[in-house]
A and B are shown apart, each in its own frame.
Chain A
Amino acid sequence: MNAIQSDLYAALPEIIILCMAMFVLLLDLFLKSHNRSLIYIFTQVGLAAAAVVTACTHNVSVVSYAFNGMFVDDPLSDVLKLMMYLTTSVMLVYTRQYVSLRDMFRGEYFALTLFALLGMMIMVSGQHFLTLYMGLELLSLCLYALVAMDRDNPRATEAAMKYFVLGALSSGMLLYGMSMLYGVTGSLDVSEVANALLQGAPDHAVLVLGVVFLIAGLGFKLGAVPFQMWVPDVYHGAPTAVTLFIGSVTKLAAFAFMIRLLIQGLYVLAIDWQGMLAIMAVLSILIGNITAIAQTNLKRMLAYSTISHVGYLLYGFMSAGTNGYVSAMFYIMAYVLMTLGGFGIMLLLSRKGFEADNLEDLKGLNQRSPWYAFLMLLVMFSMAGVPPTLGFYAKFAVLQAALQAGFVGLVIFAVVMAAIGGFYYLRVVKLMYFDEPLDKSPIKAPIDMKVLLSLNALLLLALGMFPQRLMDICAYAITHSFQ
């Protein structure tokens, strides 16, 4: 195989998604409104095809570079990509009814989702600061448009505006940080930067300043305190379908982004970024958990809950060791599954002209449908980190990593905050089980959504009892991707 062929071979999943995105966009032009569901089917087929290709071209434990080292195909990228296809596909199933009732069941929705996915895949596989940045921008642009999809809703427009302004600012910061690193090391390639730093960089002060900007940019994208202001507004303002997308899949990409930048590129500077991450982690857990208590809107509550989850995720990173990264990856996987379940229930309860996004709307769910109340109960206890659910092992993993790295005080703080955070998850359970229902309308949803949602929530229980497999996958992805 010559060079170009092998380059294209490494990026085959991306190419499939790109083709499918353009095809969907074109197809939409020629379809009548009554057979729009063809778009949906093609999107799912595209995801499935990409998944098959990713799985088939996966070389066990092999790291292969393409496009002059700007692009990498390693176990980490393959595992994360597979998780992304799965999450996106599940999300499309959950949101299908929701978007078609709100006149958003159009080609753009699917095309933008696929383009956003493409951006994330590039972030996952980027091995060069510019590749990473390009992927990030592709993702962000699609997300701005998706947030504003519901054109007539002023809240959505406002959210999109805010998201755009702050997103552009954070991208600027990232670029500025990258340019400083370039100035000192003379390269934008992740591994070359790492090598240059290893040989001793001349100007430490500039480097650290660059890292500060990088961390600030990352903080924005992740939604960590003190860069969290956009999170609740965007979560609240965006259509629930899009919130689900922003809340779940993009976090996987942000995780990969951090691995590529901080661990693979700037590991030598770990002493410097560890402290910054620690501050962000502590603040995120504190503010996320405390503020969530005061929320009456379920989406805002989950937004603050996300902020606190990001804090726990950073606990895994700041321990700066393989154990920590594996636990962080495990945490992000668990987080994505929980988020899918939580928003899935919210989408299930919403109807035409009615968003089930207030906490009140969950009242008496146990009387309306014991089964879905039970599923939501699993999701909530999993988010709170109560065994025997997956969320417990996620917290357990990051906390033991942080304790191993010697952060005893921070771990005790995190644990106390987890108990405080327990309160607002409990309140959701309280509303579902102890209160009388406000609205008694029957819950209608397509059968595929019902089945998938049940599997999703039960998976939280099953993986909570048998987490070994998922831990193995994360350990494999992390340990076989770095030399």
Chain B
Amino acid sequence: MDWPILSLSIWVPIFAGVLVLCTGGDQNARLARWLALFGSIAAFLVTLPLYTHFNMMDGGFQFQEGHRWITSFNINYHLGVDGLAVPLIILTSFTTVIVVIAGWEVIEKRVAQYMAAFLIMSGLMIGVFAALDAILYYMFWEAMLIPMFLVIGIWGGPNRVYATIKFFLYTFIGSLLMLVAFIYLYHQSNSFELVDYYQLPLSFKAQILIFLAFFMAFAVKVPMWPVHTWLPDAHVEAPTGGSVVLAAIALKLGGYSFLRFAMPIAPDAAHYLSGFMITLSLIAVVYIALVALVQKDMKKLIAYSSISHMGFVTLGFFIFNPLGMEGAIVQMISHGFVSSAMFLSVGVLYDRMHSRQIADYGGVVNTMPTFAAFAVLFGMANAGLPGTSGFVGEFMVILGALQANFWFAFLASTTLILGAAYTLWMVKRVFYGEIGNAHVAALKDLNRREFFILSVLAVLVIGFGVYPQPITEMTHATVNNLLAHMAQSKLL
């Protein structure tokens, strides 16, 4: 393969974003929108060869690119992907197209900046998934905060400033500790190459400290209980597009990084602390699901539901068997589609009524029948109904947990009940029953743009629910490779 596909995947959206910015003020909003759409579609198309040319048998890094960058510190521009990163990269570029379309006429002020922020963010997040050099990874990881900070702060809801500063500082402090860990590893190995870190023997104490530093950075991003509190705030205040990107991709950065950095670099610490991690995951699964049950705000409910689903992901990682880990990865991808769809559905209602309170709705099915059908489908998927993508991941993780310990599986499966309870109860209160008030009675059903987005997502949710093979096939070799690596002690 001669084309630098990974570099293109990163830089095409960023370049498109800069172009969109150049269109200037809102007098050129139309141009900005179309440019953003073409840019995002081009960026999506560029990432497709990663799937078509991927060697499923190979568990190592593919599509590698390497250049010397900062020689003083031996930092390289080194990119490469394995079966874990490719699905997430394609998910990222796909979601960006959805976000651009979703913000089409909803965003009225500073359109160019809005669209550009999402395009640039998309490139930076793909950079996070593709970087194999610790500092390169760190640059993408941190740089991504800047556009997200602006998106929530400029286009968000009433309490947006508080939410966005909280989001930034939470992530920033965790990341800085990770940077200290990277510098420590650099002084040990004289390299910032991830591959060198994998081979580097470390004492037990060092491994524990490194793992905890990574934990601070990644747990905030995942987010795990008890450092999850930024997420409901950020989600509630973010515009629809921001929520979609946060839920579908930004949260995956944390999960992905656990697999890419924390666990293989400090495998002994990961095994030693697995009880701790599983406990936190199960608390997230059960306790946060209960918290979701009592929410009055739809976006907050979905935000808590995301945290609960992410608990599944970290649970799957730390039971150390192939089924659990693959299930967790499937769950990450599936959650990308389902949560995007849920947030877009809330966005559809919010654009019409400017309220996210469940109590303000009721009987929406009478005025918006098509929309209600979609919403019920996505609700079911969120609850993990068989036949939707939400089911596959959860089921695999529960099976994996069962191999490890019955009680893990038992607690994890409560989510099937709790998840159904909070999702379906919300769907019932919003969509069914008598028409709640005059505003609901005046609602118009989906327009073509909304119908298009939701139906694409519906096809994907059902598609991966029935046939998850493309994801599992891709991740299989990588997961086996990773587990084999982690089974070996790296103690000095």
Contact = CB atoms under 8 A, between A and B. Distances in A.
Contact of A388 (B72, B139, B186): B139
B304 interface: no
B143 A387 contact: yes
Interface in A452-483: 467-468, 471-472, 475
Interface string B161-193: 100110011001100110110011011000000
B441 interface: no
Nearest to B187: A404
Chain A contact surface mostly: helix
Contact of A426 (B72, B135, B168, B184): B168
B178 to A, nearest CB: 10
Interface stretch (B47-55, B146-154, B383-391): B146-154
Given A386-B143, A430-B153, A468 B69 contact: yes
Contacts of B135: 396
A434 B162 CA distance: 11
Contacts of B150: 429, 433
B73 interface: yes
B261 interface: no
Given A411-B180, A415-B179, A419-B169, A400 B72 contact: no
A176 interface: no
A419 B72 CA distance: 26
Contacts of B160: 434
A346 interface: no
A472 to B, nearest CB: 7
A423 interface: yes
A189 to B, nearest CB: 33
A430 B161 contact: yes
Contacts of B25: 370
Contacts of A404: 187
Given A381-B146, A387-B139, A434 B177 contact: no
Given A387-B139, A475-B72, A399 B183 contact: yes
B142 A387 contact: yes
B15 interface: no
Interface in A355-395: 366, 370, 377, 381, 386-388, 392-393
Given A396-B179, A415-B177, A472-B72, A434 B153 contact: yes
Contacts of B176: 415-416, 418-419
A282 to B, nearest CB: 16
B61 interface: no
Say which size band chain B's interface belongs to.
Answer: 35 or more
A434 B160 CA distance: 9
A399 B180 contact: yes
Contacts of B71: 468
A403 interface: yes
Interface in B267-318: none
Interface residues of A, number: 34
Contacts, number: 85
B153 A471 contact: no
B113 interface: yes
B138 interface: yes
B33 to A, nearest CB: 18
A377 B147 CA distance: 11
A403 B143 contact: no
Given A400-B186, A430-B161, A467 B70 contact: yes
A386 B145 contact: yes
Given A386-B146, A416-B173, A422-B168, A403 B69 contact: no
A412 interface: yes
A396 B180 CA distance: 9
Contacts of A472: 72
B70 A433 contact: no
A381 B71 CA distance: 24
Contacts of A467: 70
Contacts of B143: 386-388
Contact of A419 (B70, B172, B183, B187): B172
B172 A422 contact: yes
Contact of A468 (B72, B138, B172): B72
B480 to A, nearest CB: 34
B138 A387 contact: yes
Given A416-B173, A419-B172, A471 B70 contact: yes
Given A419-B173, A422-B169, A434-B161, A468 B146 contact: no
B153 A403 contact: no
B20 to A, nearest CB: 13
Nearest to B152: A434
B142 A392 contact: yes
A412 B154 contact: no
A381 B138 CA distance: 15
A429 B149 contact: yes
A125 to B, nearest CB: 27
Contacts of B169: 419, 422-423, 426
A471 B113 contact: no
Contacts of B142: 386-387, 392
From B173, B183, B184, name the one whose CB has the most chain A CB atoms within 10 angstroms: B183
A412 B25 CA distance: 43
A366 B25 CA distance: 11
B183 A471 contact: no
Nearest to B176: A415
A400 B153 contact: no
Contacts of A433: 150, 153-154
Contacts of B164: 430, 434
Contact of B72 (A416, A430, A471): A471
Interface string B52-75: 000000000000000001111100
A471 B113 CA distance: 34
A274 B241 CA distance: 51
Interface string B69-91: 11111000000000000000000
A377 to B, nearest CB: 8
Interface in B83-123: 110, 113
A384 B168 CA distance: 12
Interface in B389-447: none
A403 B206 CA distance: 14
A472 B73 CA distance: 11
Contact of B165 (A392, A415, A423): A423
B75 to A, nearest CB: 9
Given A387-B142, A388-B143, A412 B165 contact: no
B90 to A, nearest CB: 24
Nearest to B153: A434
B183 A400 contact: yes
Nearest to B124: A388
Nearest to A422: B172
Contact of A400 (B69, B73, B165): B73
21 contacts: A366-B110, A381-B146, A386-B143, A386-B145, A386-B172, A388-B143, A392-B142, A400-B186, A404-B187, A412-B177, A415-B177, A416-B176, A422-B168, A423-B169, A426-B168, A430-B153, A430-B165, A433-B153, A434-B153, A434-B160, A471-B70
Given A366-B154, A386-B172, A400-B183, 18 more contacts: A381-B146, A386-B145, A393-B70, A400-B73, A400-B186, A403-B187, A408-B184, A418-B176, A419-B169, A422-B168, A422-B169, A422-B172, A426-B168, A430-B161, A433-B153, A468-B70, A471-B72, A472-B72
Interface pairs A-B: 10 shortest CB-CB: A419-B173, A387-B139, A415-B176, A471-B72, A434-B153, A400-B183, A387-B142, A419-B172, A468-B70, A388-B143
